Structure 1
Amino acid sequence: MAESPITPPTTSPFDDYLTAWQRYADFSGRACRREYWYFMLFNILISLGLSFIDAVIGLGNPEVGMGLLSGLYGLSILLPSLAYAARRLHDSGRSGWWLLLLFVPLLGPLVILLFTLLDSEAGSNRYGANPKGIDATSP
């Protein structure tokens, strides 16, 4: 049996980050693992860069643990992060309401982390078509 070749992604990692801003309040649909984790990677890198700038120009507050620029960025990515996380949960067949587990100390964030690491549900589910284009009947 011949194996099907793996097709490379059609978007760049930065496109995945920009998608979050284009759909910043869209809690419907699905987001594959790649999209979600590239979004998270760019958020971490930008946050670290802004924290460094805050420290260099004296905008950092050691009592709070962040500065003006990193704090404003953190507020600005709150809604897109929640929307992307909900779409990621949809991709594995779970409701976005599972995000409420984030309020359970220690265990809740670990469960959400596990859910975001799981692969997509094959084929379409109640949240839409598989973003990877994989049909449930594919071998």
Structure 2
Amino acid sequence: MISVTPIQEKTMQERLCALCKIPYRAELLAYAAYNDQKAFVGICQFGLAPDGGHIHHLEIPGKEDTDDALFVMGRAAMNFIDLCGGKIAYFDGDAKGRDALLRRIGFTPDKQGRYTVSLDGFFTHPCQHHDC
């Protein structure tokens, strides 16, 4: 089972970003994912803006298959954005090779190729977005 927790300390966020080889951005919120053995398996950095929520990084520390961790972190960030009143979430990270994962999370590319998702009612009926 994957557990996702908010990263409370910026020094921890910076350290986990370094493990995943992504830039640390102090102004962003972050979640960390851990597996059953309590080993770190991923980080999500995201923020809120007037136009909605923006997921900037959704990364793992290695090459292992952790799509479930990325999925859960993506959904957790989207839920937080929704609870804060955001109506749209954007994926602003590197989408190359991630189309299936991003679609599984709930994103679809818009006309410009930017991955977005409307959060209006998204968590009211979660099974409408994938097979439950």
Output the TM-score relative to the length of structure 1.
Answer: 0.29
Which structure has the larger Rg over C-alpha atoms?
1
- Structure with greater proportional strand content: 2
* Greater share of helix: 1
Task: Using structure 2 for the length normalisation, give the TM-score.
Answer: 0.30
**Structure with greater contact order relative to length (CA < 8 Å, sep ≥ 6):** 1
